[in-house]
Chains A and B, each alone.
Chain A
């Protein structure tokens, strides 16, 4: 009987716990905990930990909400599936952000200390950036938007500094097969935020510039009204590149960083003691360097959001 893994299993036959391989290790770290519906019936095989024989498989009927076992099942679930780990961490860290920033401020104190200083520093930093980019137009949404992006993205990036196996192993002990802890290494998360920004860009382009000016901007440049279709194609590429580059830049940086952490972790598990020790040093070095990337990428995401929205508020012809 073939399972979704494509491996032969026989109930009652001898089995052993799957061996840890380099490929398996990396695959495991790159697979999300995916909740969705498979279009076909699947079986969940478990190797009995006491007797080391295959138990009766649990049959999951087609079109039932379940967690995917393996990346191919996750892919088979199609669009209507959810990365529970990514979205879970994303919501949790968002709540952390809101909680810290909402309750760190004491009323009417002239000598703020500790956390309040930090919070005010962040807000002032974001506000300065917004003020310097938004020179002519004023929009009360931009400040909170930029603050949310910067702090939230930074917190999500920061999860990258948690040792790569720590939380996934805890999750495994709790019964979750896959568990990715860095939401920003999931393109759904970064592109999801970019989509939010993109919708705001379109909204403000239409409400501030007016629909006519907005359409004109997309069709009358750079070649004038006689080459409208060409203009439109060129401008559309330019226009769509904004959210996609915004999301993919963050994803790419964090994904690469996470990948390096995984590879360094491999040095600890799959090689000699000496190389393992070297792995410790490298891990420390990369973590230190990565702090810079984490902060920088959250800052870049924020600044680009402000710049794009500022462009959406520009009314004069160029």
Chain B
């Protein structure tokens, strides 16, 4: 337990070890720890940013979805309107066509009737003339009594 040169030796050894620690031990450990700390905080920040942008994307998505929905509803409405309009147009057109067909049909019928009547009248007058000729002989010829026949036909 004597105080001797061990004290000075230990002080020198102390200086040497502190110097070694200062130069070769402390800096690498501290730099690794700081680097990791920075990387972790960067990572957390990036995660937070990603979270935020996800939230934003969700909002944008919702907004677009709503817009798309309303657009779709508009389109559907328009389509319905157009469909009913088309149906309406078609039915009115069909009605008009039907009327037209009816009209033309009745005209044709009338014409046919008139034609048939005319033909019948003609035949009848011929039959009458034939019969009259046979009765009256050759005295009466259609050429001579054309006027009379015409008059008769008109009276029929």
Contacts and interface: CB of A to CB of B under 8 A. Distances in A.
Contact of B33 (A102, A123, A187): A123
- Interface bracket on A: 35 or more
B17 A152 contact: yes
A195 B11 contact: yes
Interface in B2-36: 2-11, 13-15, 17-18, 20-22, 24-26, 28-30, 32-33, 35-36
B17 A97 contact: yes
B39 interface: yes
A14 interface: no
Interface string A57-73: 00000000000000100
B7 A78 contact: no
B10 A90 contact: yes
A192 B104 CA distance: 135
Contact of B10 (A120, A148, A188): A188
Contacts of B30: 123, 127, 143
B26 A187 contact: no
Given A101-B25, A195-B11, A148 B18 contact: yes
Interface in A120-155: 120, 123-124, 127, 140-141, 143-145, 147-148, 152
A143 B26 contact: yes
A185 to B, nearest CB: 9
Given A101-B29, A119-B29, A145 B22 contact: yes
Interface residues of B, number: 31
Question: Does more than half of chain A's interface fall in helix, strand or loop, or is it mixed?
Answer: helix
B147 interface: no
Contact of A87 (B9, B20, B33, B40): B9
B121 to A, nearest CB: 119
A107 interface: yes
Contacts of B135: none
Contacts of B11: 192-193, 195-196, 199
A80 B18 contact: no
A120 B24 CA distance: 15
Contacts of B148: none
Contacts of A192: 6-11, 13-14
14 contacts: A71-B1, A80-B5, A82-B4, A83-B6, A86-B6, A94-B17, A108-B32, A110-B36, A110-B39, A120-B29, A145-B18, A148-B14, A187-B7, A192-B14
Given A97-B17, A186-B1, 5 more contacts: A79-B4, A79-B5, A94-B17, A98-B25, A196-B11
